[in-house]
Amino acid sequence: MTYSREVTNKIVECWGLGFTAEETVTVIENWKGITIALNTVYRHRHSLTAQQIIDELIRKQMRDIAKEEDGDLRMKYRDKLLAKFIPQRIESISHQIIDQNVKIDATDDEDTILSKAAAILTRKRESQSIH
């Protein structure tokens, strides 16, 4: 089903506000009275237009943080923004396949997971430098 531009814009807006996909479905049901599938929300979130909008929102937020005159407040919000972008800890991973050749089990400790991730990145970097 094709939705109006208004609905698709609302999906991206909700994403920019930090809503989960499930919350976005609820917001649109309450707002327009229509039910949309979670797959629709995910598809619109990963569109090129959505990525450009999110990139612009992040740029504006970083600019606002940089322009803040109160140093303590600036550092507080800079740290919060960085925490969103940089995972602080790997809490629980259950049988996710990161690469076709590497599998992470729920029994792996954090150091093992990070070692496997580093090996993947090294292999990808080496394969890119060969080409």
**Helix ranges restricted to H, 2-109:** 5-16, 21-32, 38-45, 48-67, 71-85
Whole-model pTM: value is: 0.44
The predicted-structure confidence for 24-77, as pLDDT tens digits, reads as follows: 999 999 998 988 999 989 888 888 777 787 788 778 888 888 888 888 888 888
Mean pLDDT of 15-28: 89
Model pLDDT for residues 68-111, shown as the tens digit of each residue: 888 888 888 888 877 776 655 544 443 344 444 555 565 666 67
Question: Residue 113 belongs to what H/E stretch?
Answer: helix 110-130
Confidence at residue 55, expressed as pLDDT on a 0 to 100 scale: 81
